[in-house]
Amino acid sequence: MSLKIPIETSARHIHLSQQDFEILFGSGARPTFVKELSQPGQYACKERLTVAGPKGRFEKVIVLGPCRSCTQVELSVTDTRRLGIPSVIRQSGDLEGTPGCLLVGPKGKVQLEKGVIVAKRHIHMNPVDAMRAHVKDNDIVFVITTSYERSLIFSDVVVRVSPSFSLAMHVDTDEANAFANEDNPAGVILKLFNGHTYSLQTWADELQAGINR
């Protein structure tokens, strides 16, 4: 239960389909590798795009590689509000019914019909980590963080298990700012009530009343 999980902040970023990549950066263009990310095979690209919504735009938003089957834009709630786009919290790849936005690149534009999400917070881990933490793929857990002035406990955290994953929890910039502003933040899993807060108060009330189930 004492598995210590590095917490990484995902700033706003874009995953592109090969088709959209070529519309935005030119026919035959391919992502330019700049830097590996924590998850094996994923990398930051040199390419940048403008992301625009009804109320605002962000310039120079980073593109991550490699290309995926569907284009996906990941923003924080603060970001979606600035753009005037609804905040829809989803796991990566679950894009049905999500809002769209306008992507502007050096060679063209793409008006997305869907694909803008606020990423649901999640933990990547491999099967060995999962055994150590007594969790399985798609479990929902709490994650306890500590910081000097604003520790918090994340609820509704999805566990994703795959041999290709490296141990890391991903939160967006709002979530990162809400709990800490420190170097090398980490969390530990609290596996109770399937990660839902609504049972926790009852449990605490019972404990304080001397009831131990």
Q: Which residues bind a copy of itself (CB under 8 A)?
A: 1-2, 76-78, 81, 87, 89, 120-121, 142, 144-146, 148-156, 173-175, 177-179, 181, 188, 190-192, 196-198, 200-201, 204-205, 207-208, 212
Least separation in angstroms between CB 189 and a copy of itself: 9
For residue 114, which of 131, 146, 90, 148 has the smallest C-alpha distance? Answer: 90
For residue 82, which of 120, 121, 56, 113 has the smallest C-alpha distance? Answer: 56
* Residue whose CB is less far from a copy of itself, 111 or 151: 151
* Residue whose CB is less far from a copy of itself, 102 or 178: 178
Strand partners of residue 125 = 161
Least separation in angstroms between CB 108 and a copy of itself: 30
Least separation in angstroms between CB 2 and a copy of itself: 7
* Residue whose CB is less far from a copy of itself, 10 or 155: 155
How many Å apart are CA 76 and CA 54, to the nearest integer? Answer: 16
Report whether 120 contacts 156 (CB < 8 A): yes
In angstroms, how far is CA 61 from the centroid of its own chain? 16
Neighbours of 74 (CB within 10 A): 22
* Residue whose CB is less far from a copy of itself, 69 or 181: 181
